[in-house]
Amino acid sequence: MPRIDFYVLPDAKDNGRALLVCRLVDKAYALGHTVYILAASEAQATALDDLLWTFRQDSFIPHERYPLAGAETSPVLIGTALPPDVKARVLINYTDGAPEGFEQYERVVEVVDQHPDVLAKSRERFRQYRERGYTPETHKL
């Protein structure tokens, strides 16, 4: 049963959630965890891909887009659908809904800011997780 964590930013700055995703990936990678970032769109996945290279000067996070071009896999993958053939430890959900198949991960991370739409959709996901028997934790940043 996965642990589900909601990380809540105190504001709604442009790119705030994307930068938080990068910080959380950086931390998970430093701890040796494999990560799958579920993006809501190809444009969002591309933006995260680019941001992971540049968000911090002293950081290097090997990552690639899913589906993979070759046989090698990186410890961090970014895609728009949950892959049936990839086993990552941490799922970072950067979409508006609770993804089907999230149960295969040890941890599910949700990133939230104070934008009204983001808050409303995150509350709905929180409720969905609770209805399925999970006890999500909230971390106010």
d(CA 47, CA 41): 10
pLDDT tens string 2-47: 999 999 999 999 999 999 999 999 999 999 999 999 999 999 999 9
Which residues contact residue 47 at a Cβ distance below 8 angstroms, ignoring those fewer than 6 apart? 18
pLDDT at 87: 84
d(CA 34, CA 66): 14
Buried b (16+ CB within 10 A) or exposed e, 41-72: eeebbeebbeebeebeeeeebebbbbeeeeee
What percentage of the chain carries pLDDT values higher than 90?
84
Mind listing the domains of the chain with CATH numbers?
3-140 (3.40.50.10110)
- End-to-end Cα spacing for the chain: 25
Total length of the chain:
141
Q: Is the pLDDT of residue 71 over 70?
A: no
As a whole number, mean pLDDT of residues 119-138 equals 97
